[in-house]
Structure 1
Amino acid sequence: MAQPEIDYEALPPNASLGVNMLAGALAGISEHAVMYPVDSIKTRMQVFTASPVAVYSGVGNALTRISATEGVRALWRGVWSVVLGAGPAHAIHFGTLETVNELLGGNEAGNQWVATSIAGASATTAADALMNPFDVVKQRMQVHKSEFRSVLDCARTVYRTEGLGAFYVSYPTTLAISIPFNAIQYTIYEHLKRMINPTREYSPSAHMISGAGAGAVAAAVTTPLDVVKTMLQTRGTSHDPEIRNVRGISDAFKVIWARDGLKGFSRGLSPRVMTNVPSSALCWLSYEFFKAAIRTD
């Protein structure tokens, strides 16, 4: 007698939150670790500097020059900051995502745009509160000629010289990026997944394609604010008095516009999309895989 087919997404109510959080943590670490070198290049391209040595014309140019002058290891500097933060942050993200989505009926038939958008926004608000300090440390270590060689040393120095506020000065900007990013990403992902895989059977290719498409659109739309966030998070490493005195989104916008005009807000667009297409595909693939693999029947 044939066994009834199990819907891999139909998790038991008493195990769903824990399973989703663990799956999210594993997916987050996988995503960030794999694409970290491209993220480092994105940060370098977004930083405003007067040094011609640290100005790059593109991803290939940056990769070649950084590898030749600083060594390949420089592209991995600060990776432990995201590894340490990504696990718990993604656990909170996916736990909140699934909980809110379920409460608002996002798992019901049809395209539940409002439910998935609210779920995505709620998830990122909670996760970014934890991840923001780790992201600040990461970018301080990614910049050209960074003085920091360990996560702990960087965190201590930033706290001692700039105070606790330095870890959260970019939080409003992070939310201004992450809320639309995750709302767009999750909504497009769910829509593409249902369109490509209407039977809801376990399909790695469907998760990868849906995740890649969702990541590309969300990354491109939010790049201008990502440039602003990078300026806020790396201002303490700048020797430029105007950049060091940037206090918020408005100040950063003014500086970017005055120095580089409209094109300044597209800095790092290529590596940002390049990072998010495979990382989003990997994240959703890993998440769906771990969710299925550690499911308790």
Structure 2
Amino acid sequence: MEAADRRGRTQKSTYLAPLLGGAIAGVSVDVALYPLDTLKTRLQSEQGFQKAGGFRGVYRGLLTVATSSMPTTALFFVSYETTKKLVQPHVPTQYTPLVHMLAASVGEVLACVIRVPTEIAKQRKQTYVGDKARSSISILLEAYKAEGFRRGMYRGFLSTVARDLPFSFIELPVWEMLKSTVRRHNDGQITTLQSAVCGSIAGAFAAAVTTPLDLAKTRIMLADEYTLTRKLRIRPVLAAIYLESGLRGLFAGVTPRMTAFMAGGFVFFGVYDDVKRIIEGHLDGS
């Protein structure tokens, strides 16, 4: 009976800890750093920073993000932790980073099912300069009526996945590697603060490397109409930006993006590890 109870608590911990930890971490970082994300989106907008809104209304679209970040990050971390637990026992220790990459990939693809419609609504609100405010639901309904489910509400799905997968390939393994390094020099222990610092470094590095992909995703999502031409594909979009503005143009918005993910990584991974540790401790002690 006691063994069965222990297994039950372990199963709860496997799902509940990353579920709640991811949900709380996601909404915390999105609400805290939303203005930087708005500025980054406007810097990347084809119409230009000032015409896209400048420094005005930097919290426009916040409610959309706040209400969707919890299920998105919860789904990501449940998928991430579950995949790690299923795959890791069958893989030699030296290939652990590959396990982290696979787990992050599974989590990102599933999370994008929620993230993409949210991003479309959020970014169009961030760059809308008309007098009449539009709700996120009305934006998505307009997109659906005008262009259908896939082309309207899931515009830019592949470009979002193409951006987020490389980001996760870098961020999650780097975070796990840095944590392992800390543990090796700290008798196998790591504090919430140390985990947060590791997340900050990993987030900033991954953000800088993947800025061109983020830029392409932004341009595709902000386009007025969906078209099957090459203009709304990642490579032609980046090629056009490079021809127009050079290498510097491909990294438009890199500073606020790096700043956001540096601070965001600190809050996100710190809160996630802390909440996860509290929940696991509570379940183990119950």
More helix by share: 2
- Are 2:146 and 2:152, in contact at CA under 8 Å, matched by a contact in 1? no
1:94-109 pair list within 5 angstroms: 94-105=77-88
Q: Which runs of 5+ in 1 are unaligned?
A: 1-10, 56-61
SS class of match (1:105): helix
The one-letter code matched in structure 2 to 1:275 is A
What's the CA shift string for 1:108-162, capped at 9, x where partnerless?
A: 9667111111111111111112211001111001115156432222222222233
> Given the alignment, which residue of 203, 207, 227 partners 2:195?
207
The one-letter code matched in structure 2 to 1:277 is M
162 and 221 in structure 1: CA distance in 2 versus 1, 3 angstrom threshold:
same
224 and 42 in structure 1: CA distance in 2 versus 1, 3 angstrom threshold:
same
> Given the alignment, which residue of 29, 43, 46 partners 1:45?
43
1:192-231 pair list within 5 angstroms: 192-198=178-184, 199-201=187-189, 203-231=191-219
- Are 2:43 and 2:49, in contact at CA under 8 Å, matched by a contact in 1? no
- TM-score, normalised to structure 2's length? 0.85
**Identical counterparts, % of pairs:** 26
Q: Does 1:292 align with 2:277?
A: yes
- Are 1:210 and 1:281, in contact at CA under 8 Å, matched by a contact in 2? yes
* Aligned equivalents of 1:162, 1:75: Cα separation in 2: 28
SS class of match (2:58): helix
The structural deviation recorded for 1:18 is: 2.3
SS class of match (2:88): coil
177 and 190 in structure 1: CA distance in 2 versus 1, 3 angstrom threshold:
same
> Given the alignment, which residue of 31, 34, 37 partners 1:33?
31
Residue 59 of structure 1 aligns with which residue? none
- Are 2:112 and 2:157, in contact at CA under 8 Å, matched by a contact in 1? yes
- Are 1:38 and 1:271, in contact at CA under 8 Å, matched by a contact in 2? yes
* Aligned equivalents of 1:277, 1:40: Cα separation in 2: 16
Number of equivalent positions: 268
- Are 1:235 and 1:246, in contact at CA under 8 Å, matched by a contact in 2? no
Q: Does 1:154 align with 2:139?
A: yes
Residue 174 of structure 2 aligns with which residue? 188
The one-letter code matched in structure 2 to 1:19 is A
- Are 1:208 and 1:281, in contact at CA under 8 Å, matched by a contact in 2? yes
* Aligned equivalents of 1:232, 1:148: Cα separation in 2: 22
Residue 114 of structure 1 aligns with which residue? 98
263 and 159 in structure 1: CA distance in 2 versus 1, 3 angstrom threshold:
same
SS class of match (2:232): coil
* Aligned equivalents of 1:16, 1:116: Cα separation in 2: 16
Q: Does 1:76 align with 2:59?
A: yes
Deviates more, 1:251-260 or 1:225-234: 251-260
What's the CA shift string for 1:228-270, capped at 9, x where partnerless?
A: 0000111129xxx99x994322342243233223222100000
- TM-score, normalised to structure 1's length? 0.82
135 and 18 in structure 1: CA distance in 2 versus 1, 3 angstrom threshold:
same
Residue 168 of structure 1 aligns with which residue? 154
* Aligned equivalents of 2:93, 2:12: Cα separation in 1: 22
SS class of match (2:189): coil
Residue 122 of structure 2 aligns with which residue? 138
* Aligned equivalents of 1:108, 1:202: Cα separation in 2: 23
Residue 250 of structure 1 aligns with which residue? 235
* Aligned equivalents of 2:65, 2:142: Cα separation in 1: 18
- Are 2:140 and 2:152, in contact at CA under 8 Å, matched by a contact in 1? no
- Are 1:148 and 1:154, in contact at CA under 8 Å, matched by a contact in 2? no
* Aligned equivalents of 1:111, 1:197: Cα separation in 2: 19
* Aligned equivalents of 2:190, 2:242: Cα separation in 1: 47
Q: Does 1:281 align with 2:269?
A: no
* Aligned equivalents of 1:253, 1:290: Cα separation in 2: 39
Residue 58 of structure 1 aligns with which residue? none
* Aligned equivalents of 2:274, 2:35: Cα separation in 1: 25
The one-letter code matched in structure 2 to 1:260 is S
Q: Does 1:23 align with 2:21?
A: yes
